Amino acid sequence: MTQISTEGATTWQSPSNIAIVKYWGKRGLQLPENPSFSLTLSAAHTRTTAEYRIVPDKQKPQIDITLDGKEQPGFIPKIEQFFSRISDSYPFVRQLEISLRTHNSFPHSSGIASSASAMSALALIICEIAGVSGDLQEVSRVARLGSGSACRSVFPYGAVWGKANGFSGTKDTWAVGAGDRMHDVFKSMRDAILIVKSGEKSVSSSAGHGLMKHNPYAQTRYRLAGERMQVLSEVLHAGDLETFGAICEREALELHALMMCSDPPYLLVEPGTVAMIRKIQAFREDTGIQAYFTLDAGPNIHLLYPDQDKSEVREFIENDLLAYCENGQWIDDEVGTGPEKTDQR
């Protein structure tokens, strides 16, 4: 039986992830309508320090939170909702007095999965208090109840969430690590995150998931995602970059097409997004370098490419793509090894 820590301080750094096959549409309590696969990132992360104590006679948690030193009372309802969802498993969260100091290495709410990194970091903190932070399956389950995509961020290299043909042990209730199925070319893949727009997006991911309930193409989308996951299981093992890239780009465009077909429809891509997509496609055709784009639920481009082509792709970014980035902003990222407990605060 694990021992609950009644007071203390701890810091966890947890990465964002970039979905290759997208999670878009949910049912019940944060359960996915289709399976998804993501690459775990490294430079794009959230670092959260928690100072806490459990007060036995409390019936409601007391939460304070700052982001980069600025108080964020608007975040508290989401954390309270998360604590409510996990309170049957971890009743002590009702009695927590907790102060959270958090830092993102990338723009918040701009479509770079800040909820995945933030909620997985918080899940790790709660699981550490409960004495189970070493159980990644449990951490993933807990993280899912804060943000669906967060359940994938706790694993090194890559993760699968949702029942998927071709991957063993997959569940809707937590993600499973896929690193043991990934060819080395994918474990060392780089991701240039090109910031077209850093401001908060006009439609949140939560709202977008909700709009899938009445999207006329929803069932077709869920079927295609399942079929692509089965293909991807072989692609990852074989190191087939060309098929990987084709799936990557189709999924990105399909995700945003679904947004445009929602009721009401909405558009998150910007002119700079489209311009960069065309530049990337031309660069690949001209050079033969297997660099592929994807997008999350926002306007910013993830340019995925093998580590061996780093110098050529960086030159391409600097010469052809930075003009479309807000203030020339981009993040030089790569596939990473997952969260870490750290002394850095």
Does residue 103 sit in the same domain as residue 246? no
Does residue 212 sit in the same domain as residue 77? no
In DSSP notation, 214-259 reads G-TTHHHHHHHHHHHHHHHHHHHHHT-HHHHHHHHHHHHHHHHHHH
Which pLDDT value is given to residue 201? 79
Q: 73 in a domain, yes or no?
A: yes
Does residue 61 sit in the same domain as residue 132? yes
Cα separation, 184 vs 189, in Å, equals 8
Does residue 162 sit in the same domain as residue 196? no
Instruction: Tell me the CATH number at 35.
Output: 3.30.230.10
The mean predicted confidence, pLDDT, of the chain is 95
Distances (CA, A) of 218 to 47, 156, 305: 35, 30, 30
Does residue 136 sit in the same domain as residue 201? no
Reported as a single tens digit per residue, the pLDDT across 238-274 is: 999 999 999 999 999 999 999 999 999 999 999 999 9
Q: 21 in a domain, yes or no?
A: yes
Q: 340 in a domain, yes or no?
A: no
| Domain's final residue, options 160, 184, 208 | 184
Q: 161 in a domain, yes or no?
A: yes
Does residue 228 sit in the same domain as residue 140? no
> What is the tally of structural domains in the chain?
2
Does residue 175 sit in the same domain as residue 192? no
Reported as a single tens digit per residue, the pLDDT across 31-46 is: 999 999 999 999 999 9
Cα separation, 69 vs 72, in Å, equals 9
Reported as a single tens digit per residue, the pLDDT across 153-162 is: 999 999 999 9
Which pLDDT value is given to residue 204? 87
Reported as a single tens digit per residue, the pLDDT across 46-98 is: 999 999 999 998 889 999 999 999 999 999 999 999 999 999 999 999 999 99
Does residue 269 sit in the same domain as residue 329? yes
Name the pLDDT band for 3 (thresholds 50, 70, 90). Answer: confident
Does residue 31 sit in the same domain as residue 44? yes
Q: 342 in a domain, yes or no?
A: no
What residue numbers bound the domain in which 142 lies?
7-184
Hey, what are 119's tokens?
């909620």
Residue 104 near residue 114 (C-beta atoms within 8 A): yes
| Domain's final residue, options 125, 158, 184 | 184
pLDDT at 345 over 80: no
User: Which one-letter DSSP state was computed for residue 174?
Assistant: S
Does residue 276 sit in the same domain as residue 318? yes
Instruction: Tell me the CATH number at 204.
Output: 3.30.70.890
Does residue 98 sit in the same domain as residue 208? no
Q: 164 in a domain, yes or no?
A: yes
Q: 341 in a domain, yes or no?
A: no
| Domain's final residue, options 184, 202, 237 | 184
Which pLDDT value is given to residue 96? 97
Name the pLDDT band for 108 (thresholds 50, 70, 90). Answer: low
Name the pLDDT band for 202 (thresholds 50, 70, 90). Answer: confident
First to last CA, the chain: 30
Does residue 258 sit in the same domain as residue 192? yes
Q: 345 in a domain, yes or no?
A: no
Cα separation, 230 vs 237, in Å, equals 12
